[in-house]
């Protein structure tokens, strides 16, 4: 499980003599179907290539290499990608459910690809609800999983009996039967149970968002029911709803994901542009913003960086300097990697930016 707290904890423990390996261990790729998979050959060759430089930097290289080789002797891939970090006395691995480019470094831990995973494939909640049932899904890293559902219990009610009931105060006495208040009572009973279910759904959304650190969610199903649930949420939580989509509850998981994912990506790109533009405005107004390497370096040195903003592309040759996220973490800050139009704008304004705790 990848999370920012875990990455920060690892970074705090690791030192400047850390081996970083990212490996494409996807067994479905032809190069990994050989007797000796390509990723094993790559890892072995890189350990050999890095040895001379690593030995000159630290006496702990022998221990690092021994730990890594011992791990790979027992390792059998169960994911598409693997991130491995090893330093004197420690080794940590993180399985990635998507393929990554093979890469290896020795020095500070190279965590930018992990930050990209967190940023690009952040989990989000999908809640489908109608008048009778609700379905909860959590989508993460290109997949969607069913979590739980709830329904209004209507089977325990005799509809025929409750459609026409005796009037409690019949005109002229007796026990006349009619369809007025009986129908109204039945509908009121159903409305009460549906409202109760809507409250349970709203409570479920709050639980997922708060306990599982989910920052965004989608509502779908019946438009009327979805809006009823949304109105029962606290105002701050209502603001985290990305959209209400006409997704029928009968759809399969992949169909649901296909409808939701484009909206999630669109929302992510919009948020990135908003953040970049906000920090640019701060910086140009002399406020809580820094633009360009010199200003950002100064802010990092003074531990004023609340959010470090870097352009990111898997195709970048230069990549992200590993020391920058580490320095941001050291002052309690976070890192945002931006893509597309937001990255282009950032590159035009100095290539790097930071939102500060307070103005320089």
Q: What is the rounded CA–CA span in Å between residue 291 and residue 350?
A: 6
Which tens digit of pLDDT belongs to each residue from 2-51? 677 888 888 889 999 999 999 999 999 999 999 999 999 999 999 999 99
Structure tokens of 220? Answer: 């779908």
On whether the CB atoms of residues 145 and 253 are closer than 8 A, the answer is yes
Select the more confidently predicted residue: 288 or 132: 288
- With H, G, I as helix, E, B as strand and everything else as coil, classify residue 114: helix
What's the average model confidence in pLDDT over 253-269? 87
Q: What is the rounded CA–CA span in Å between residue 273 and residue 269?
A: 6
pLDDT at 314 over 60: no
pLDDT at 113 over 50: yes
Structure tokens of 358? Answer: 């307070």
Q: Which of 343, 326, 272, 331 is nearest to 306 (CA)?
A: 331
pLDDT at 189 over 80: no
Domains in the chain: ranges and CATH: 4-110 (3.30.960), 124-251 (3.30.420.60), 268-356 (3.30.1330.30)
User: For 54-63, 211-220, 226-235, which range has the lowest pLDDT when averaged over its residues?
Assistant: 211-220
**Distances, alpha carbon 117 to alpha carbons 3, 16, 36, 266, in Å:** 9, 23, 28, 17
pLDDT at 178 over 90: no
Chain length of the chain: 360
**What does the DSSP assignment read for 191-251?**
HHHHHHHHHHHHHHHHHHHHHTT---EEEEE-HHHHHHHHHTS-HHHHTTEEEEE---TTS
Q: Which of 175, 51, 168, 32 is nearest to 104 (CA)?
A: 51
Which tens digit of pLDDT belongs to each residue from 144-177? 554 555 544 444 333 333 333 333 444 444 444 4
Q: What is the rounded CA–CA span in Å between residue 130 and residue 135?
A: 9
pLDDT for 194 equals 85
- Torsion, Cα 291 297 303 304, to 10 degrees, reads -10
- With H, G, I as helix, E, B as strand and everything else as coil, classify residue 38: helix
pLDDT for 74 equals 94
pLDDT at 282 over 80: yes
Which tens digit of pLDDT belongs to each residue from 333-347? 989 989 889 999 999
Structure tokens of 292? Answer: 């360009």
pLDDT at 284 over 60: yes
Q: What is the rounded CA–CA span in Å between residue 352 and residue 285?
A: 17
């Amino acid at each position: 499980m990848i999370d920012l707290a875990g990455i920060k904890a690892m970074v705090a423990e690791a030192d400047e003599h850390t081996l970083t390996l990212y490996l494409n261990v996807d067994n479905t790729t032809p190069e990994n179907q050989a007797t000796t998979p390509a990723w094993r050959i790559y890892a072995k060759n890189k350990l050999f290539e890095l040895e001379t430089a690593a030995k000159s930097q630290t006496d702990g290289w022998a221990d690092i290499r021994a730990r890594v080789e011992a791990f790979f002797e027992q390792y059998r891939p169960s994911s598409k990608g693997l991130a491995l970090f090893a330093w004197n006395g420690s080794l940590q691995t993180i399985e990635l459910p998507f393929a990554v480019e093979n890469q290896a470094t020795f020095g500070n831990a190279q965590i930018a690809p992990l930050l990209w995973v967190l940023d690009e494939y952040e989990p989000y909640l999908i809640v489908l609800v109608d008048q009778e049932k609700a379905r909860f899904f959590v989508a993460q890293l290109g997949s969607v999983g069913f979590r739980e559902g709830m329904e209004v219990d209507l089977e325990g009610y005799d509809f025929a009996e409750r459609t026409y009931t005796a009037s409690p105060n019949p005109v002229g006495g007796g026990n006349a039967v009619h369809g007025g208040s009986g129908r109204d009572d039945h509908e009121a009973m159903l409305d009460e149970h549906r409202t109760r279910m809507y409250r349970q759904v709203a409570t479920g959304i709050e639980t997922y968002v708060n306990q599982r650190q989910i920052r965004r969610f989608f509502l779908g199903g019946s438009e009327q029911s979805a809006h009823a649930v949304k109105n029962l949420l606290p105002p701050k939580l209502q603001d985290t709803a990305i959209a209400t989509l006409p997704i029928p509850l009968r759809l399969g998981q992949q169909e649901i994901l296909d409808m939701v994912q484009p909206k999630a990506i669109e929302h992510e790109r919009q948020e990135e542009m908003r953040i970049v533009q906000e920090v640019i405005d701060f910086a140009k107004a002399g406020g809580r913003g820094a633009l360009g390497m010199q200003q950002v370096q100064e802010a990092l040195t003074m531990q004023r960086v609340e959010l470090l903003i870097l352009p990111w592309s898997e195709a970048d040759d230069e990549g992200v300097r590993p020391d920058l996220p580490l320095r941001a973490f050291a002052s309690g800050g976070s890192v945002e990697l931006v893509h597309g139009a937001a990255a282009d704008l950032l590159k035009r304004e100095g290539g790097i930016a930071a939102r500060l705790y307070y103005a320089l």
